[in-house]
Structures are given as C-alpha cells and as structure tokens.
Amino acid sequence: MLRFLAAALTLATGAAFAQQPATVRLDYTHSGNALSDSYAIERVLIEPLPWPGDMAKNFDETNRGQNRVEVVDAKTGDLLYSRGFSTVFGEWRTTEEANKLSRSFSESVRFPKFDRPVRVRILKRDERNAFSVVWSVEVDADAQDVVKQQPPAPAKPIPIRVSGPSPQKVDLLILGDGYTAQDLPKFEADARRLSSHLFTVSPFKERANDFNVWALAVPTQESGITRPSTGVHHASSLGTRYDIFGSERYVLTLDNRALRDIAQHAPYEFIEILVNNETYGGGGIFGQFSTAAASNDWANYLFVHEFGHHFAGLADEYYTSPVAYQAASTRMEPWEPNVTALRDPDHIKWKQHVTAGTPLPTPWPKAEYEKASRAYQKKRAALREKNRPESEMNALFREDLARTRALFEKQQYRHAIGAFEGANYEATGYYRPAMQCIMFDRSEQFCPVCRDGISDIIDLYAGPLSRPGGR
C-alpha cells in the first residue's frame, strides 16, 4: 500500500513537483456581528506539500463568492494571485443570532510562495455588488515567525483517482469524520462509491480526467459525529457536527484551523467531508468545503448537491424548506450563476440558453407546488420532532420527489430554460433557470446553467489558460 501511495503521489505531482513553489497559508480570525466585522492575523505557515495549482492560472475571473483574496507584490502592487470564496462567518451574519451578539471564526487563505514579500488583501462585495478591500496584511513567507515545520501527518492519504500531475488537475480531497479505526475500510469504500457517483453526473462525467481524488480520515473513538439536538456528542479531530445555526440538517465544522491542519497532508484545492452517519444532512461553502452524510439513502444526492455549492458557488434553488438565514431586505442581483433577481429580462445572465419565445418570468405550477410542499414540510418536521427512524424520512423524500416529477411532467416549459420564480430561499423576487435541477430538489442532474457554472471552475484549475489580469 505504501509503495502504491508513493507511486500515486509521484504521478500526481509529476516531474515538475520539485519546481512548484511552496504552499503558504495565512490563518486569521474574522469577528463581528450582523452590522460590522474585523480581521486579525493568527499565523503564517508553510504547508508540508508544494503548491498543487498551475502557476499559469493564478488569476480568477469567474466573479464568484462573497469574498475575494488577492495577493499582490508588497512594493509594486502588481497582482500575483486571486481567488473568490465565501465563508462560514458570511452565512452566520445573516442569522438571527448575529443581530444579538458577536462571534469569532477562524479562516484561512492559501497561495503559492513568491520570491518577495507580498500583501494579502481580503475583499468583500459591497452594496453595488462590487469587490472592495476590507482588510490587508503584509506577509513575508521567509520571516522568522513563519511556521516552517509541521507535525507528522495524523493519517495517510489514500489515492482514489489519480489522473495526472496535480498542477494540471483539480485536486479533490475527501476527508472522513466519525469513522473509528475499525470503520476505516468503510470510509475508503464510501469515498470510492461517492466520488465514482460524482463522475456519472454531467459535467463532471465528461471532465473526469481533469480530477485527482484523495481520501484521508483521522480515526475517532466513536462512530458518527455530534448531533446536539438529540443529545449526541462525539469528539473528533475535525469537529464536524449537525444542527449548525439551529438547522437540524446543516452539517459543518466550525474549526477551520483543525480542518486545514489535517487537509494539508494531501494535495487539495477542494474538500468534501464524509460523516459516518445515517441521518440526512450536509452543507457546502464556496471555496471552503462541503459535507455529506455518507450512510444516508440520499448520500449520492447530498455529495453532489453540496459539492455544487462548494466547488462552483451554486445557489440553492429551493425555497420552501426552513433555513437559518434571514430574508434579505433588498433584491440585489445574486453573484451565484444559477439564480437571478431578473431586473433586466432582456439581458438575463443565462440568455444563451433561453429559446426565443420563452416568457420571462416563465410559467410553472407554483401555487400547486407550494401547497404540496407545505404539507410535506409539516410531515418532515413531525418526523424529526418525534425522532422517527431515518427510513421514514427517506420514504417521505421519495414520495415528495415522485409528486414533484408528476406535477412537472406535463408542463409546457418542463424542459425549457427560462426564469422560474422561487429560488435562493425566497418564494418571490428570485428566479432559477430550470423548473427542476439537483440544486432545486433531489433530482439527479444539474441544469445546463449549473453545468456551465461548474465547467467554468474546472477550466480555472484544469482547462484553458486564464488571461492574466490586474487591478
């Protein structure tokens, strides 16, 4: 196994591995509430593995994310590296709790080591939906206080799919949480099963050779992760848990530093955490990580849907399920590629997919769908309140999906791309491109607009060369 791992790492890094720069990580705290926030540096460190990305693709022009990191030459201000991302803090500050108190979150940005001091700038979207700098700090990766030696890896990465040298591929790392030492064979099987499913879904299917996939799990003492709403508390190195922000199905880790300290021992650009639980749940933050309950009947859907959030910044298109976020007071055009406020129907962001004659907004059986959905959500809440077996919840999900498909099947615009009102957790004011998509319900495929959004990110890491840019 060790010989195979070494061979896989050699293939993934290639002959150019030794020529790749080191990976620099800036850990910082992001604190505040719904009205204000602030940043403070924690540490700068050099990760154990070289930079996994292509140095010819340092510039992100996709305009995704609530935030953006820019690394610039400290003396000249020349742009050296950029990426869009979102944060757990950014989601938390939209909850009711953020109106009552302040909290602090750990965050990190990673970038290739340059041969000079740099200034790292964190940007945030403003009221014009444009990026503006909210924090900057000078980083000299050769300074004495930079952490240059890391502890040994707590577990060995498993090569799941190795297509070629990391700089020319998208590196996906699957982390496990809630797997005991005895559960590790199950973790590897789960990682192989779910990543294989990912590559049956377009456009990942057509771009499978652009990916490397690794798996790594630090064993826990007990199987499964923490679920506070049921009184279950399990210790783990990653700290992943259910009930984030009071949503029983929302699964995240709030311990970013622990996450990065474990992930740094494998090549990665994207992370999906598999939790060893049967209870339905997951989550995804663009540019951070995604999660999925590996033992749930809907694990395939959870893995792909949540990865859509994390990988491509796709928005949720559903709007009848309860969420922790508070409704926005304005209808700014969303940055996510698959939802719109439809302020200018003649120039809708996915215009190339709209057939001439398709009305915008596009008719669909919205009232009938909402009536059925309200009844379904009432049953769902009752099952959770009574802590009924997961099999009953799974049966309810199958019933709901079948009812939705039957309702949509004979609709005139069933397979059209248009602007269907109801998306982004809002019943009115936001529109999704298709009547049905994996970002809307538990169906199996992404709509063409979501596929485009995913392909853009694959191209950023493993596709045509990006055009150098500056600010």
pLDDT of residue 348: 97
pLDDT band per the 50, 70, 90 thresholds, residue 3: very low
pLDDT band per the 50, 70, 90 thresholds, residue 467: very low
Q: How far apart are CA 317 and CA 227, in angstroms?
A: 26
**Who has greater pLDDT, 467 or 374?**
374
pLDDT of residue 127: 77
pLDDT of residue 468: 41
The contacts found for 89-93 with CB under 8 angstroms, 24 or more apart, are 89/30, 89/32, 89/37, 90/66, 91/245, 91/285, 91/325, 92/245, 93/32, 93/33, 93/34, 93/37
pLDDT band per the 50, 70, 90 thresholds, residue 14: low
Question: Which uninterrupted H or E stretch holds 185?
Answer: helix 184-198
Distances (CA, A) of 129 to 51, 133, 307, 449: 31, 13, 24, 21
pLDDT of residue 159: 98
Q: Which residues pair with 275 in a beta bridge?
A: 177, 293
Tokens, residue 237:
């190195």
- Mean pLDDT in residue range 244-249: 95
Q: Are 256 and 269 in contact (CB under 8 A)?
A: no
Q: Are 172 and 272 in contact (CB under 8 A)?
A: yes
pLDDT of residue 331: 73
Q: How far apart are CA 239 and CA 255, in angstroms?
A: 6
Count of beta carbons in the 10 Å neighbourhood of residue 384: 15
- Mean pLDDT in residue range 391-415: 97
Q: How far apart are CA 123 and CA 111, in angstroms?
A: 15
The residue type found at 427 is: A
Q: Which residues pair with 45 in a beta bridge?
A: 25, 147
Question: Which uninterrupted H or E stretch holds 27?
Answer: strand 22-32
Q: Which residues contact 237 (CB under 8 A, 6 or more apart)?
A: 154, 177, 218, 220, 258, 262
Span 71-104, pLDDT tens digits: 999 999 999 999 999 999 999 999 999 999 999 9
CA dihedral of 395, 400, 402, 403, whole degrees rounded to 10: 140
- Mean pLDDT in residue range 227-236: 97
Q: How far apart are CA 167 and CA 377, in angstroms?
A: 45
Span 272-300, pLDDT tens digits: 999 999 999 999 999 999 999 999 999 99
pLDDT of residue 1: 44
Span 119-174, pLDDT tens digits: 999 999 987 889 999 999 999 999 999 999 999 999 999 999 999 999 999 999 99
Range of lowest pLDDT (91-95, 198-202, 266-270, 319-323): 319-323
pLDDT of residue 4: 45
Using a pLDDT cut of 70, give the percent of the chain over it: 93
Q: How far apart are CA 45 and CA 202, in angstroms?
A: 37
Q: How far apart are CA 311 and CA 86, in angstroms?
A: 11
Distance of CA 165 to the CA centre of its chain: 23
Q: Are 414 and 291 in contact (CB under 8 A)?
A: no
Token pair 């009115």: residue: 428
Q: Check whether 415 has a pLDDT greater than 80.
A: yes
Dihedral over Cα of 394, 395, 401, 405: its sign: positive
Measure CA of the first residue to CA of the last residue in the chain; give whole Å: 47
**Who has greater pLDDT, 470 or 450?**
450
Q: Check whether 464 has a pLDDT greater than 90.
A: no
- Mean pLDDT in residue range 1-9: 49
Mean of all residue pLDDT scores within the chain: 94
Q: Are 438 and 301 in contact (CB under 8 A)?
A: yes
pLDDT of residue 129: 87
Span 23-36, pLDDT tens digits: 999 999 999 999 99
Q: How far apart are CA 321 and CA 334, in angstroms?
A: 20
Q: Are 167 and 16 in contact (CB under 8 A)?
A: yes
**Predicted model pTM:** 0.94
Q: How far apart are CA 127 and CA 358, in angstroms?
A: 31
Listing DSSP states for 110-147 in one string gives EEEPPSS-EEEEEEEE-TTS-EEEEEEEEE-TTSTTSB
Q: Which residues pair with 205 in a beta bridge?
A: none
- Mean pLDDT in residue range 372-390: 94
pLDDT of residue 18: 63
Range of lowest pLDDT (126-130, 190-194, 226-230): 126-130
